[in-house]
Structure 1
Amino acid sequence: MKNLILVLLLFGFIGTGHSQILLKETKLEYRPESMKLDPVSNTLTIKIAEKNYGEFEKNPLAFVKNGFDIQRVLKDNEKEDYDSYQVSFKSTKGHLLANFDKDGELVSSFQKFKNVRLPEDARMKILQQYRDAVVVGNKHIAVSKGWDIHKEFYKVKLRDGDKTRRVKINKEQGAITLVGL
């Protein structure tokens, strides 16, 4: 009887261990006709279908660098002879607008996301300065030159009782400063 119970417990633990769901990383999925640029605006818009929540919002530039093939866009549009390409990546929480030159190098990018998780140091700074305030919403805005982020800040909307306050958090070279709006 004792052996039967031990065997059943062992099978129970093994069964739950093997039944865990493995999440695969998000891949950008393209259809061949979607790689053609709009002839009027020289832009390509790609909607990000995320299987893992928030992967694109965490680090959009790294996501694009690892999962997007600009050489395929260049190949599909070589007959048009464009000098620059503008590719827009859109998700449910925001977008990234990337500008590429004719060789496929990233020139600049602009990204804007809403209601993303604030960095720990920014949350602590807000808590220190506005103790009773509640974060109602935020926007994360970043501009890059090449693959390096040049300017990055958060716009945070705080509610303290019946007062609403907007705060801008500059994030430059690791230092965080609060600017009241």
Structure 2
Amino acid sequence: MKQFATLLIFFGLTCFLFAQEDNDGITPVTLDAITLSPINVAYLNKVNDSHTPEVVQELQFKAANFDVTSLSEYDKKAIRTFDVIFKASNGDIIASYTADGSIVTAFENFEDIVLPMTVRKMVFDGNEGWKMEKNRYICVFSEDNLTKKQYKVTLTDGNHKKKMTFDFDE
């Protein structure tokens, strides 16, 4: 056991000795710092907030980071836009991109999603005993502006129905 401990210490020290060797004349190079940011930051800043459901946020990030040059129809010289549909099990985002990859318009439509806590509180405040039958989330983004962000909720209590609309437009 004494020999094992001695060998362990010996190998441990040799690792430190090799780590202290010279770099064989190689001089380190310092690179300039660069900042990378997604091209569609304006889109994300407008459509994504505390009232945005998680499933929608995931597709919004995919849309914002989508590489339009990966499309077979991509032509940098084309003046037209490229429409891309991002699908989830309960909704989709239809985004139009310019040739440089900027989102010009986006239409988000989701049904029967888990509402964010802030929206749930608004829905059930004063509606104790009611059950949510269905809901719909709609968001429209156009030319760097949020033109519509809305929840439509249908509540039921027995044979009674109540429809509610919540707008979160700017």
| Bin of the TM-score, shorter chain as denominator length | 0.5 to 0.7
Structure having greater relative contact order (Cα 8 Å, sep ≥ 6): 2
Once residues 88 and 81 of structure 1 are traced to their aligned partners in structure 2, the CA distance between those partners, rounded to angstroms, is 20
Deviating beyond 4 angstroms after TM superposition, the runs of 4 or more aligned structure 1 residues are none
Of 111, 122, 144, the match for 2:141: 144
Of Structure 1 and Structure 2, the greater strand share is in: 1
Q: Which runs of 5+ in 1 are unaligned?
A: 1-53, 174-181
May I ask how many residue pairs the two structures share in their alignment? 118
Q: CA RMSD in A?
A: 2.6
| Partner AA of 2:117 in structure 1 | E
Describe the SS at the equivalent of 1:71.
helix
Asked if 1 retains the 8 angstrom alpha-carbon contact of 2:80 and 2:98, the reply is yes
Q: Which runs of 5+ in 2 are unaligned?
A: 1-52
Q: Does 1:135 align with 2:114?
A: no
Q: 1:56 to 1:134 in 2, by over 3 A?
A: closer
Q: Which moved more, 1:163-172 or 1:107-116?
A: 163-172
**Higher alpha-carbon Rg:** 2
Residue 170 of structure 1 pairs with residue 159 of structure 2? no
In the TM superposition, what is the alpha-carbon distance from 1:112 to its structure 2 partner? 0.3
User: In the alignment, is the contact (CA less than 8 A) between 2:74 and 2:99 conserved in 1?
Assistant: no
- 1:105 alignment counterpart: 102
1:60 match: 59
Equivalents in 2 of 1:115, 1:151: separation in Å?
19
State the TM-score, normalizing by the size of structure 2: 0.59
What's 1:45 paired with? Answer: none
Q: Does 1:117 align with 2:114?
A: yes
